[in-house]
Structures are given as structure tokens and as C-alpha cells.
Structure 1
Amino acid sequence: MISLSLTTPIQIFFNPCLTPFPHSLAFHVDLVTGEGFQSIASKFGLPHVVVNCAALSVPRVCEKEPDAAMSINVPNSLVNWLSSFEERDTLLIHLSTDQVYEGVKSFYKEEDEAVPVNVYGKSKVAAEQFISKSWPNFAILRSSIIFGPQTISPVPKSLPIQWIDGVLSKKEQVEFFHDEFRCPVYVKDVVTIILSLINKWIIEGKQMKLLLNVGGPDRVSRVQMAETVAHVRGYSTSLIKQVSASSVYRGSLIAS
């Protein structure tokens, strides 16, 4: 299995958390041009499963750099590489986002129309459409906010719960949205879903074309997330200043 994770705006690593796993193979790949894929083919061969987690995923950055968002988030070079093999049965598991939805109602379903309101969401819809048309064996997972512990090899990107804990620990008042709702999902639940899909494919041996919403059971605001962290960590909830998501332009207003 190969996993893709973004480490810079262009470069990605395969199996990036290498320190705890010294026998893993790592490859530098340019996700836009596809440079580096052939070295994987010669040393690793054709992967049975690819889990694509690579993305330019900060909405604010995507708004400023729409071309980069589209070129990175739509996996043209990856699918072209997979298509170069005679066998076209690799299972591609692609992480998308709940930000493909317009955010005007609660608890969206997979059959609801995707009407993204920001560049990040638009790039993810474009990726979904490209994969659906170009690759015969895929599972697209529209995840909400993914939370959990820091990875074994720490990632530079700020993680949701860790960020909330960090800003509240400074004992200074911080603004959180009270009217943006998401369904945060635990990272190990996402991993369980991915492993279940892989096992299903291995056991049944049938190609799949799956689109799946991946969210947790609770619909919560940023304020509610911050209040939960405050209660667990013993911070005063007076540090949590409630503001509207419309007060800050982030290219998105999500209700999932």
C-alpha cells in the first residue's frame, strides 16, 4: 500500500512517517508534474492500494492561490501514473471534504448536490469528478474535521484539538465561531473505514465506485469544540469569545 501526504506546496512523500518505521520506502514526488513516479515504479512496482491524503487544504491559502489548489488537489499526475500500468485495478482511496457542500442545511447525504462555496471545495469537487471519470476502482471519502493525537512523527500542520489547547493555554481570550457546524471525526475511525474498504476489496475482488460521507456522530460548532477542550484541560470558558463565521472571510461557511 502507498500513502500520499503533502509536505510542501508541491512535494509529497510516500509513507512520510519514516522515523518510527525505518524499513519503509520513501519517495519524493512532484504532485503537479508527476516527476518521481517512475522511480516508484522501478523500485516499488504497481501498488495494490493508494491512499491519497495529499492536498492544499487551508481554505484561506486556496483562495489566495487557486491555481495551486487545483493543480495539487486534482490528482492528474497520480491517475496518469496508475493508468500507465497494464493492470488498472489499483484501489484508489481519495480523501475529500465536507466543504464540497453549500452549508445551508444539516447532515448532508452523499446524493445531495455538491455546491462548494470556496476554492478548496471547488478543487475537491473537481478531483472527485476527475477520479470518477478517469479511474475504475475508487473510494472517495468526504471527511469532516479530523481530530486525534499528534502523529508518531509530528506533522508541521496545526491539528484542530492541539491548536485549541495551545491557544487556550495562553490564558488569553480567543474568538471561535458559534454558527459554523461540522461533524468532527476521530482519526482512528477514518483509518478503520479505510482498512475496512481495503479488506472488502481484497475479499470480494470487485472494483468499487464509492462516494462516502465520513463524519462523526455529533454536530458541533467551533465554540462547542473549544468548550469541550476547556472542560477537559481545566481552562476557563470565559476565554472563549463567540463570534459569527461571517465576521471573518475564510471562503467558507459550513453547516454539516
Structure 2
Amino acid sequence: MNKIIITGSNGLLGQALVNLLLKEKEKYQVFGFSRGINRSGREDFEYISIDITDEALLKEEVLKIKPDFIVNTAAMTNVDACENNKQECDTLNVGVVKTLTTISEEINAHIIHLSTDFIFDGKKGHYKETDTPNPISYYGLSKLKSEEVLTNSKIDFTILRTILVFGKVFDMSRSNIVFWVKLMLEQKKEITVVDDQFRMPTYVEDLALSCKISMDKKATGIFNISSNKLLSVYEIAQQIAEVFQLDKSYIKPTSTATLNQTAPRPAKTGFDLSKTNKILEFYPKSFKEDLLKFKETLP
């Protein structure tokens, strides 16, 4: 039986992964690390309330368990907040990875770490795992630094880069693009959405499955995980309206320049998924197919 620690187990991916692994309790012993109370709605795994930025405490708790795998889903992901609070961003996004890597060297644990399309500048799109990163925001830089901690280490690691994760779990602390668009259109509120940024959104269930596949295959290195078709954020919003049969006329296109966001965003990301197809034997679908699958799970 594999012992798995999931950091950020209260988050969207954290809860989805807890749910997935607990379907095979004979195979995985799951430990959730997160702040505050357990928000997963489940009591059938060991939950540890912890501030993972406390290095000594994190080390103590991990060494008690001696996990086979640590899946690090915890991160500061609000791009503008990272730009405004660089120290806090580095502490969670880089410092924690350094601590986990040091511990993993000691106990021979395999780290599965989540990264982002924001490590790229967005000039070309359809990025391969081997393309040269060039982050244009502090969030992107912090995630690149966290990748470098792992790539420069001697431990077994898997880095899963992902884009614009959406889905639903038991207790949502923050929204995501699908819920935001759906809610606004249901309330018949006009929304402005950029038509000059391009992304491949990721269904959280697919991302959780990719973490599990990485463990089961002991796959090491960097992999891209997202849906398989590049769309403008405006097109993404339109597809959400179509799937949920909501009025598209409330969606108004705008350009990035009008938003005055604190941190710059890459214009065009998206991934080449051929390595993921070949090595993980995982074949992501289109955003629309994922949306239809997601819709079935809603009450």
C-alpha cells in the first residue's frame, strides 16, 4: 500500500484527488495536509490541520508518516495577489517545495508537483514541455522557481503543468471560470471577457486522474495536462453558455488592455499534449466535452 500526502487537500484539486484515491483504499493510504478544518466532507482519511509554511512543523509531520508520494497541490495562485505580495508568494510557492524536496531526499519520497502555463510569456502558444520558460508575472516566476528546485534535485519528481482548472468539490473556497460565467448569466448580468487571451482549460477530475496515473506509472519528469483545443477566453465563456443553455448575449468581448490588471498575463498559452498521450497514455478531450461531463455531475 502506498502512503500519499496531499498538501492543499482542502483545495479544488486536493479534494478531487482525495475522492479519487479513496475509491481504492486497499491501494492508497491518504493523508490530507491543509489549513483549518477538513472541508472535504469526508472522514475516511487522515486529515492534518497544518500551516505548511512552518518548515519545522512540516518536516515533523511528514517524517511521522514517511510517505511514498507527496502530491503538492498547495499554492498561491491569485496572479495579482502574487504580484503585490511577492514574499508571501515565494514562501508558499517556492519555500514549501524546497522543504518538501529536502525531506524527500531523506526518506526517498516521490514528489508530484503542480505547475502552470504562466511560466511562459504567451508569444507562441501550444507549448511543449521542453520549450524555454519566460514568465512575465511574479506568479509565473514563482512557479518556475519551484520547478527548478525539483529539476535540480536528486529525488524522483513529476511536474504537471496545467491551465485554468475548473470543476466542483464538496466545499468550494473560491470560484472558477465555469461557475463565474454560469452564475452571472443565470442572474442575467452582463460580463466582459477578453477575446485576445487563449487558453486550454483543465477539468479538475482529469488533473486528479493525471496525478494518480503519474503515481501508478511512477512517471518522472514534466508533463502538460489540459484540454486539447486552444480557445479564446471569450470562446470559453460562449461554450459555457451553450452547454448550460444560457443567454450568450450577456457576454461582451473586450481586450486585455482595458482590464488594467496588476500583473501581466500571457496572451496565448495552450499545450502540446503528445508527451502526455505517449507516456502517461492519457488523452484529454475538448473543453466542450469536459463541460458536458461536468454538467452531469451537478444537481
- Per the shorter chain, which TM-score range? 0.7 to 0.9
Residues 18, 59 of structure 1: alpha-carbon distance in 2 compared, 3 angstrom cutoff: closer
Whole-angstrom CA distance in 1 between matches of 2:194 and 2:159? 28
CA drift at 1:67: 1.1
Whole-angstrom CA distance in 1 between matches of 2:40 and 2:147? 32
Mapped pair 1:253 → 2:274:
no
Describe the SS at the equivalent of 1:36.
helix
Contact in 2 for aligned 1:31/1:77 (Cα 8 Å): no
- Which residue type is aligned with residue 253 of structure 1? P
Equivalent of 2:75, from 46, 52, 55?
55
- Between the two proteins, the alignment pairs up a number of residues equal to 241
Match of 1:117 in 2: 136
Equivalent of 1:215, from 226, 242, 260?
226
Mapped pair 1:21 → 2:42:
yes
Q: Alignment RMSD, CA only?
A: 2.3
Normalising by structure 2, report the TM-score. Answer: 0.74
- Which residue type is aligned with residue 268 of structure 2? A
CA drift at 1:33: 2.7
Normalising by structure 1, report the TM-score. Answer: 0.86
Match of 1:205 in 2: none
Judging by fraction of residues, say which structure has more helix: 2
Equivalent of 1:166, from 180, 183, 197?
183
Equivalent of 1:175, from 187, 192, 199?
192
CA drift at 1:5: 0.9
Match of 2:100 in 1: 78
Q: Runs of 4 or more off by more than 6 Å in structure 1?
A: none
What fraction of aligned residue pairs are identical, expressed as a percent?
25
CA drift at 1:177: 0.6
CA drift at 1:193: 1.6
Whole-angstrom CA distance in 2 between matches of 1:30 and 1:80? 18
Residues 230, 184 of structure 1: alpha-carbon distance in 2 compared, 3 angstrom cutoff: same
- Which residue type is aligned with residue 87 of structure 2? D
CA drift at 1:28: 2.6
Contact in 2 for aligned 1:28/1:36 (Cα 8 Å): no
Equivalent of 2:51, from 16, 30, 37?
30
Match of 2:207 in 1: 190
Mapped pair 1:243 → 2:273:
no
Describe the SS at the equivalent of 1:93.
strand
Describe the SS at the equivalent of 1:80.
helix
Residues 173, 60 of structure 1: alpha-carbon distance in 2 compared, 3 angstrom cutoff: same
Mapped pair 1:230 → 2:241:
yes
Unaligned runs of 5+ residues in structure 2 are: 12-32, 270-299
